[in-house]
Structure 1
Amino acid sequence: MHNRRMLVFCGNAHPALARAICDYLDLPLGNAAVKEFPDGELDVKIYDDVRGADTFVVQPTCHPVNKSLMELLLLMDCLKRASADRITAVLPYYGYARKDRKDEGRVPITAKLVANLLTTAGANRCLALDLHASQIQGFFDIPVDHLSASAVLARSFLDPKLPDLVVVSPDVGSVKLALPFAERLGADLAVVEKRRISPDQTEPGFLIGTVENKNVLMIDDIIATGGSVCAAAKLLRQHGARSVQVAATHPVLCGPAIARLSAAPIDRLVVTDTIPLQEAAKNLPVTVVSVAGLLGEAIKRIHYNESVSSLFH
């Protein structure tokens, strides 16, 4: 154990989550201000003495993505120049994570660029939750603690536990995310095979597994436009699913997502508070569970140099 002070700061992306994390840690939220000039430029001022402190900046890089990212970079640069001993970037949601490889010629690998920017701005460590591609950890040359919200989400389906439950992955790539749910809930696993019909559009192909007369729990990390999860829900109903519930870590919910989810045969949606839930989405049959305790416990263990590995699953 050491005598470094722990200080937690945040930008404007999700102060409610940062305050909830501080409540868990029994700490006041650090005193920082982020303001915007008339021309759109941002400015940051930290009012606490951070010299020699162990600092954590909680900032999901969600909508408005570029502004949220820039706020995070400026906050960390400010801490670095004020002689903070260590700076941990806490990213409940990592924007640009879906751009993790070159899938065609002459395109950037933006997830790698963001990792470089975070390190250059001053991050000594990164704490992330359900990265869209877990290999993004390898884009960093600093330690990355990658947590999963599966335990937090699964609790919503344990009490009461649904009978005849089947956990479904909406595509092959999400099987690794869905499998821990199936194991926790003692349920079978099924997979929807997804066909890509254009660079930005997919449709469900066929179902691997049986859902007839079953209660289905579909698992995904991100619901963005909602196209994949809504189309998969229709396919599952066509195959005789008794009910369809969806659990997702990051409720991005952009573009037509809310309209699609409203029209889809989905009985219940459970998401976390990694991203603030839009007001319009609150008319959906949605339950929000908090990851503040999970992130707060990870921050505490990092501060005291304790193992975080038991929180990974």
Structure 2
Amino acid sequence: MPAMNEPKLIAGNANRTLANAIARRMSMHRGMSVSLVDARVERFNDQEIFVEVYENVRGEDMFIIQPTSNPANDNLMELLIIADALRRSSAARITAVIPYFGYARQDRRTKARTPISAKLVANLLTEAGIERVLTLDLHATQIQGFFDIPVDNLYAAPVFALDVEHNFRGRLQDVTIVSPDVGGVARARELAKRIGCALAIVDKRREKPGEVAEMTVIGDVKGKTCIIVDDICDTAGTLCKAAEVLIENGATEVHSYITHGVLSGPAVERITKSVMKSLVITDSIEPTEAVKAAPNIRIVPTAPMFAQAILNIWSGTSVSSLFETDTLWPIYEGMYSR
């Protein structure tokens, strides 16, 4: 049975721009004004986080929009405290909309005496009163199994497919999708399948985290327009090196599509000076002024997809329908032509 009350949105400070965009998009879908719940999320002088909700949320279906990006710990605590405030205010259901799920790279024990931090975060979210999680391109899909509550993991691939088809129209036959490592082959293969392009792999060998010792291209990229696909770009060292190796192996140009633009440290400078013609990221993480100003970085919106997913969750209809490019195209109509 569809919910009787309207869905209500509340946001922390991690990505207010995306939260407002989702609210605007939902207003278009609903034919009525949807705005963020009036609340304050502030810090005391000692940096303790304080949350106060000014509107009645008793019996409401609440959606907290808060990526746990840099500063990851602060944004995670904001999410937990907002959830606690809503639970103690008798909200009927609390869904955490986490466009970028921090700590997802710590999903297993790679060495002795190390934590599985992604599982710890899952436990924290559940104990805070969150009853459902909506996220985008989890670094490892098995993280969904860390939760004992429903997790809806959306994919950027359908949106990226629309963008590639639009921007590379007429030359898709020359496009090759590239995975920057063996672990990301499934993600790259998915996009390659959607747009009907060839697939290649850059095999890398790390001596230690953050450094790449050697790279080898598996597949034919000579004379091709290469598109590197990955979920996270942090310092961009691996990405820029992979682009150089592809050019050295005969690629005519290199572009990259990355879901989460963490882009920390020297990343923006590296990308600006790299051989990549363009880097496309989503707005799952609030872009810095440096990212916005970079001439070869472009941002595609996720608000249309998240707004529709929230409405589907609220109404009890399928979220997996958003995994298909043909389903998303009407939502993004006006932005992309086919």
| TM-score (structure 1 length as normaliser) | 0.97
Correspondence 1:249 to 2:277: no
Contact 1:11 1:72 in 2 (8 A): yes
- 1:155: Cα distance to partner? 1.9
Contact 2:202 2:216 in 1 (8 A): yes
**Which shows bigger deviation, 213-222 or 152-161?**
152-161
Equivalents in 2 of 1:6, 1:47: separation in Å?
17
1:135-154 → structure 2 map (5 Å cutoff): 135-154=142-161
For 1:164-212, what per-residue CA distance to the aligned partner results, in whole angstroms no more than 9, with x for missing partners?
0000000111111111211122110001111011144234421111110
Correspondence 1:81 to 2:91: no
- 1:4: Cα distance to partner? 2.8
Equivalents in 1 of 2:221, 2:227: separation in Å?
10
- 1:24: Cα distance to partner? 1.2
Correspondence 1:310 to 2:311: no
Counterpart residue number, 2:128? 121
Contact 1:193 1:208 in 2 (8 A): yes
Equivalents in 2 of 1:235, 1:84: separation in Å?
53
- Quick one: which amino acid aligns to residue 18 of structure 1? A
1:1-313 → structure 2 map (5 Å cutoff): 1-26=2-27, 27-161=34-168, 163=171, 164-281=174-291, 282-313=293-324
Any idea what SS the aligned residue of 2:134 has? strand
For 1:77-101, what per-residue CA distance to the aligned partner results, in whole angstroms no more than 9, with x for missing partners?
0000000000000000000110111
- Quick one: which amino acid aligns to residue 62 of structure 2? T
- Quick one: which amino acid aligns to residue 142 of structure 1? I
Any idea what SS the aligned residue of 1:29 has? coil
Equivalents in 2 of 1:156, 1:174: separation in Å?
20
Contact 1:88 1:124 in 2 (8 A): yes
Contact 2:215 2:242 in 1 (8 A): no
Contact 2:268 2:294 in 1 (8 A): no
- Quick one: which amino acid aligns to residue 285 of structure 1? N
Contact 1:192 1:204 in 2 (8 A): no
In the alignment, structure 2 segments of 5+ residues that lack a partner are: 28-33, 325-338
Q: Cα 1:204–1:247, aligned 2, differ >3 Å: closer, same or farther?
A: farther
For 1:125-177, what per-residue CA distance to the aligned partner results, in whole angstroms no more than 9, with x for missing partners?
00010011111000000000011011112222112425200000001111111
- Quick one: which amino acid aligns to residue 76 of structure 2? L
For 1:248-291, what per-residue CA distance to the aligned partner results, in whole angstroms no more than 9, with x for missing partners?
11010001211221221100111110011111122231111100
Equivalents in 1 of 2:3, 2:101: separation in Å?
30
**Which shows bigger deviation, 239-248 or 149-158?**
149-158
- 1:300: Cα distance to partner? 0.2
Equivalents in 1 of 2:296, 2:216: separation in Å?
27
- Quick one: which amino acid aligns to residue 103 of structure 2? Y
**Which shows bigger deviation, 159-168 or 74-83?**
159-168
**Which shows bigger deviation, 194-203 or 264-273?**
194-203
Equivalents in 2 of 1:121, 1:101: separation in Å?
23
Equivalents in 2 of 1:136, 1:276: separation in Å?
23
- Quick one: which amino acid aligns to residue 251 of structure 2? A
Equivalents in 1 of 2:41, 2:52: separation in Å?
7
In the alignment, structure 1 segments of 5+ residues that lack a partner are: none
- 1:5: Cα distance to partner? 3.2
- Quick one: which amino acid aligns to residue 17 of structure 1? L
- Quick one: which amino acid aligns to residue 41 of structure 1? E
Equivalents in 2 of 1:278, 1:24: separation in Å?
23
Any idea what SS the aligned residue of 1:159 has? helix
